[in-house]
Amino acid sequence: MAVDIRGTEIERIEMIYDGPQKHAAYFHALLRSFYPGATVKVYGSGEIEGKKADEQEGALTLLYNAGADGALKLTAKDNDGSVIFERKAGKATDGQALNEKEKEERLKHFVYECLCEMTGRHLPWGSLMGVRPTKLAGKWLGEVMRKSEGASLRAEIIDRYRRRYDVSEKKAGIATDIALREYALMESLDLQKGFSLYVGVPFCPTRCLYCSFTSNSMASCRQLVGPTLEAMLREIEDAGNEMSGRKPCSVYFGGGTPTALDADDLKRLMDKVAESFDLSEVKEYTVEAGRADSITREKLKVIKEGGAGRISVNPQTMHEQTLALIGRKASPAQVEEAFLLAREEGFSHINMDLILGLPGENTQMVEDTLRKVESLGPDSMTVHSLAIKRGSDLHRRMIEQGVDLSWDTGTAMEKAYESAERQGLLPYYLYRQKNMTGNLENVGFAKDGKFGIYNILVMEEVQDVVAIGPGAISKHVKYLPGGSVQIARSENVRELSEYVDRQEEMLARKRELFEGLVLQ
């Protein structure tokens, strides 16, 4: 648990500020990053009356105020009301007015600097709390390319990350290199005429404790598999009619675990996709085999014959005791067997997913997992930092069993980068989530020429996504003058019986989202 400027462990922290409520989520994420394990409460304008930290040891109150002239002040008080820290910032500029975005960035950076001083820590991503840090680099690329190129282009973008958000030099360099690779790949695609197709299969052999996706245990909902598949087949056909005249550039079967289905049902879905869409310009077709305990030779043949060239065989960890704790029953031996079986069936692009920060693990265990993965030789590797949601099954299980929530995942992430380099894998996409261990990131590594196209397009939000299945979210990306985009969404319901019963409603919403958008 983190300590404050007094060296006291913080169990509860409350922030009271006189700014707009829209900043509450940002401040909450920032405080959780500096004070992992502490209970965090944030109150904005209109909620201040009567709010104070509980009178208990380790409680802390932050009071933030902004003056009418743009001056800022943050005060930290102990539970008895005594001031233990205070910092002020003068007017923002010498007479030059800031726009709202600039004011917001200045405020966030000011609070971040205060927390750095109070805790003696600097976060690897600085004051950035957003999900897509590489989007900034993508935005800056166009600006910088007009005046510089080559090494100076990279240096300028890194400098912006450092100067504006206090991002570490290493993370700024990684984000910049990823953005440059993404830019080169997207230049080869027709982003506006093409689209990405996502098929979300909402079933798994069992549900992992950390999972937040639309996933249902096959054992608990087998009676709903048939009706759900029929509804998905109809949705695929309807989407194919709506997108007639446009061709997908990527197809992604996710979930859930598509291979939780039997071979015949998986074939029905893949055949319906081939019947309903023109796949002649697909650059990448992925099926997440995911769970090794769901992979068979028959299913791999179905995937291969269906047109997919990229699959995932995801261990998450190669330690059996951890897998048992998180409810994932595929053993390390099964992972190795499934991987080699996929190679036998001719798959030349196999991805493996790993999770850092799993309960009961440490850096040495992560290194052991990385060595075993390296020995198999995947073509790409995706490394996730565990995002633990309070109140989740995983969080409760960890508390009950006294499992450490705060081990040094930063060192483990460094080991993952070193492993990727040894394997000749380059970082090609990156994103972040709330409540991630170590304030780190999820990053995808791949051999040059095998970057995950769907992952890049979805993360950068530069292309329409037609999404099938319970909980799937379709997106329409509208390009505006000046290069900015506007995104509209249509979300399917998550619950299986509702997905079946309310299909007409969902199909109508999707038709409306893409109506009149066929580009010849």
User: How far is Cα of residue 131 from the mean position of the Cα atoms in its chain?
Assistant: 7
**Residues near 318 by Cβ (< 8 Å), separated by ≥ 6?**
332, 335, 368, 369, 372, 373
- Choose among 307, 332, 310: nearest CA to 321: 332
- Give the residue-averaged pLDDT of 162-184: 94
Q: Looking at the predicted structure, is the pLDDT value of residue 25 above 90?
A: no
Q: So what's the pLDDT on residue 64?
A: 84
Q: Is the pLDDT assigned to residue 90 strictly greater than 60? A: yes
Least confident of 11-15, 342-346, 351-355, 423-427: 11-15
- What is residue 520's predicted lDDT score, i.e. its pLDDT? 40
DSSP code, position 333: H
Distances (CA, A) of 176 to 179, 182, 445: 5, 10, 15
Rg over alpha carbons for the chain, rounded to the nearest Å, is 24
Q: How confident is the model at residue 519 (pLDDT cuts 50, 70, 90)?
A: very low
CA distance 279 to 271: 12
* Cβ atoms 311, 270 nearer than 8 A: no
Share of the chain above pLDDT 90, in %: 57
- The average pLDDT across 227-238 equals 97
Reported in sequence order, the residue ranges of 367-480 that DSSP labels E, i.e. its strands, are 380-385, 426-431, 442-446, 465-468, 473-479
At residue 447, the pLDDT reads 98
Q: Give the pLDDT band of residue 405 (cuts 50, 70, 90).
A: low
Output 312 or 361, whichever has higher pLDDT.
Answer: 312
Q: Which helix (H) or strand (E) holds 291?
A: none
Higher pLDDT, 466 or 390: 466
Mean pLDDT of 390-412: 62
By C-alpha distance, which of 152, 111, 500 is closest to 103? Answer: 111
**Are 481 and 214 contacting, i.e. CB atoms less than 8 angstroms apart?**
no
238 alpha carbon, distance to own chain's centre: 29
pLDDT in tens, 485-502: 899 999 999 999 999 999
Single out the residue of 352, 325, 323 nearest to residue 340, CA to CA: 352
Q: Are 422 and 438 in contact (CB under 8 A)?
A: no
Q: Find the range with the poorest average confidence among 31-35, 89-93, 140-144, 342-346.
A: 89-93
**54-85: per-residue pLDDT in tens?**
555 567 888 888 776 778 999 999 888 889 99
CA distances from 248 to 69, 191, 231, 489 (A): 52, 10, 21, 18
Q: In 204-233, which positions are buried (b, 16+ CB within 10 angstroms) versus exposed (e)?
A: bbbbbbbbeebbbebeeeeebbeebbebbb
Whose tokens are 């028959």? That residue is 298
The stretch 105-129 carries a mean pLDDT of: 91
* pLDDT grade for 185, boundaries at 50, 70 and 90: very high
Which of 76-80, 124-128, 182-186, 399-403 is the least confident region? 399-403
Whether residue 393 is predicted with pLDDT greater than 70 in this model: the reply is no
Question: At residue 237, does pLDDT exceed 90?
Answer: yes
In order, the DSSP letters of 453-484 are HHHHHHHHT-S-EEEESTT-EEEEEEE-TTS-
Q: What is the dihedral of CA 153, 155, 161, 162, to 10 degrees?
A: -160
pLDDT at res. 234 = 98
pLDDT of residue 312: 96
In eight-state DSSP terms, residue 3 is B
Predicted local distance difference test score (pLDDT) of residue 301: 98
Q: Which of 210 and 298 is assigned the larger pLDDT?
A: 298
In this predicted structure, the answer to whether residue 219 has a pLDDT above a threshold of 90 is no
For the chain, the residue count is 520
Q: Is the pLDDT of residue 397 over 70?
A: no
pLDDT digits (tens, 9 = 90+) for 462-472: 999 999 999 99
Q: Which residue has the higher pLDDT, 54 or 454?
A: 454
**Lowest-pLDDT range, 306-320, 338-352, 379-393?**
379-393
**Residue 230 scores a pLDDT above 60:** yes
User: Residue 117: pLDDT band by 50, 70, 90 thresholds?
Assistant: very high
**Mean pLDDT computed over every residue of the chain:** 87
> What is the model's pLDDT at position 339?
97
pLDDT exceeds 70 at position 198: yes
